[in-house]
Amino acid sequence: MAQDFLLPDIGEGIIECELVEWLVNEGDRVEEDQAVADVMTDKALVQIPSMHNGVITRLYHKKGEIAKVHAPLFEIQPDDEVAPKPVQEVAGTPAPEATTGEIVKEFLLPDIGEGIVECEVVEWLVAVGDEIQEDQPICDVMTDKALVQIPAIENGVVSELFTKKGSVAKVHAPLFSYRCEGEVSAVTAPVVESAQQTAPVANVDNTANNKKAIASPAVRRVAREMNIDLTQVNGSGKNGRVYKSDLLAPSAPVVEASTNSTTDTAMVPTTVPSGDLAANHVASVEPIRGIKAAMARQMVDSVSTIPHFTYSEEIDLTDLIALRGGMKDAYKEQGVKLTMMPFFIKALSLAIKEYPVLNSQLTNDGSELQYFSQHNVGMAVDSKVGLLVPNIKHVQNLSIVDVANEVTRLTDAARAGRLAQDDMKHGTITISNIGALGGTTATPIINKPEVAIVALGKLQKLPRFDDAGNVVARQIMNVSWSGDHRVIDGGTIARFCNLWKSYLENPSSMMMAMS
């Protein structure tokens, strides 16, 4: 069956482009990764490649026309799909002319972020048989960066969901199918019914056509996971097309798995390991996917390429807590949630003005140090989908109230798993509030390619001496910095931390610095 190729994301913020040149014609055979078209965005000329080996069956735009991102660009008949025979050959009657009615389309998972090739289906928001509207959310998927909602591109009725909740979906592979109004050919329901009456399925060997098996990409993926040879399956569909239900039939032939099998671990039964591990009685195995997998890669990359060093200090927050206590009720009436975090973030930005090296990044080859004018301060959030680090943009230009509102927005979005990808990009320095869960000190890992991160310990009421030598109760927090020793030395981090500390211990000095 021919498939629509949807124009992928070709740059941040780009929603359309001009078709500059077709590099193929209808009827041409193309190979995977062969250039099909040149398109012009408002930034550059981009070449669009084919995703499959096959034959181009339709070009949806003329040269010079505007093509929309995530809309069909061309149609292709992949090599692994065999076109069904015309109905007149099966039923012995002429094929009727195309009529207006329902057709079934497959929705291909679009590009959902630069470099992302797969994602996990977290939740289906519709079921088979549900009516859907254009732009209606269909499902939530988790990439290694964020939770993304996939919308419908037109009205219709859901006919099949190709991926189960918790399974991995591939970009540009079918995600679901739906029925919609459109032009249909002779292979639609009424004619197919008469064809089935003329040639009963029970009398047909439907494996005959499956030497080149007829099945959708989604069915082929399931067959690979189950080690089933599609050419040996008695397909129940037209011309022997294999459906998922055919793979689950008791007669479905299972191929012996080879030592090179690449079946999904989720399909492999868990066995108790031999040796010393057997005593642990492994109860279950959890695949590391999505954000957890991304965090694992990021942390390994950071500690293996950045020489970390840690610097700790304690900060007396007694006066700042008193200031905040006198302000929070008034701001609450205005709908502003004033926690301590906005003060930490704003004070950090003020200190960066004096020590801009804390807001820099090394280039990949380590030959240059780039300084950033924007203070995009990240904050680690312990969400239901794992550790997320959204960042507040342009803190140098924001007031305490502005920062407070952004802290609330990003924290709520992160805990609900609804962060926009832009909220996760372009951070320049990070704060981790590990003390909210307990603990006084930490050795945080730098959020590469940043050069510094600070972990806040828990707030403690501790005895300290005042200027007169009297013991008084003060509100003390320990903070732990990790720095990139290729860029920052111990003296720099100490002086920077002292300035940051002075703003927090003497709130009036922070207010003066903001004016």
Q: Are 413 and 423 in contact (CB under 8 A)?
A: yes
How are beta strands 147-151 and 360-362 bridged, if at all? unpaired
Q: How many CB atoms lie within 10 A of CB 7?
A: 24
Burial (CB count <10 Å: 0-12, 13-18, 19+), residue 370:
exposed
Q: How many CB atoms lie within 10 A of CB 288?
A: 10
User: Three-state SS across 262-308?
Assistant: CCCHHHCCCCCCCHHHHHHCCCCCCCCCHHHHHHHHHHHHHHHHCCE
Structure tokens at 67: 């093509």
Q: Are 60 and 5 in contact (CB under 8 A)?
A: no
70, 172, 308, 485: the catalytic one is 485
C-alpha 294/C-alpha 313 separation (Å) is: 31
Element (DSSP H or E) covering residue 502 = helix 490-505
C-alpha 4/C-alpha 71 separation (Å) is: 9
Burial (CB count <10 Å: 0-12, 13-18, 19+), residue 94:
exposed
C-alpha 470/C-alpha 464 separation (Å) is: 8
Residue 375 falls in the annotated catalytic set: no
Which letter does DSSP use for residue 450 in this model?
Answer: -
Structure tokens at 5: 């190729």
Structure tokens at 215: 């099945």
Q: Are 74 and 140 in contact (CB under 8 A)?
A: no
Structure tokens at 227: 């080690």
Q: Tell me how many degrees the CA angle 391-425-374 measures, rounded to the nearest 5.
A: 65
Residue 281 falls in the annotated catalytic set: no
Q: Which residues are within 8 A (CB) of 56 and not within 5 positions of it... i.e. 6 or more apart? A: 24, 25, 26, 27, 28, 29, 30, 36, 74, 75, 76
The radius of gyration of the chain from alpha carbons, rounded to an integer in Å, stands at 30
How are beta strands 118-124 and 137-142 bridged, if at all? antiparallel
Q: Are 332 and 401 in contact (CB under 8 A)?
A: no
42, 135, 412, 489: the catalytic one is 489
Q: How far is CA 462 from the centre of its chain?
A: 44
C-alpha 283/C-alpha 94 separation (Å) is: 61
Closest to 217 measured CA to CA, from 165, 276, 176: 176
Please report the sign of the dihedral spanned by the C-alpha atoms of residue 198, residue 202, residue 203, residue 208: positive
Buried/exposed code over 234-248 (b: 16+ C-beta within 10 A; e: otherwise): bbebbbbbbbeebbe
Question: Catalytic residue positions?
Answer: 485, 489
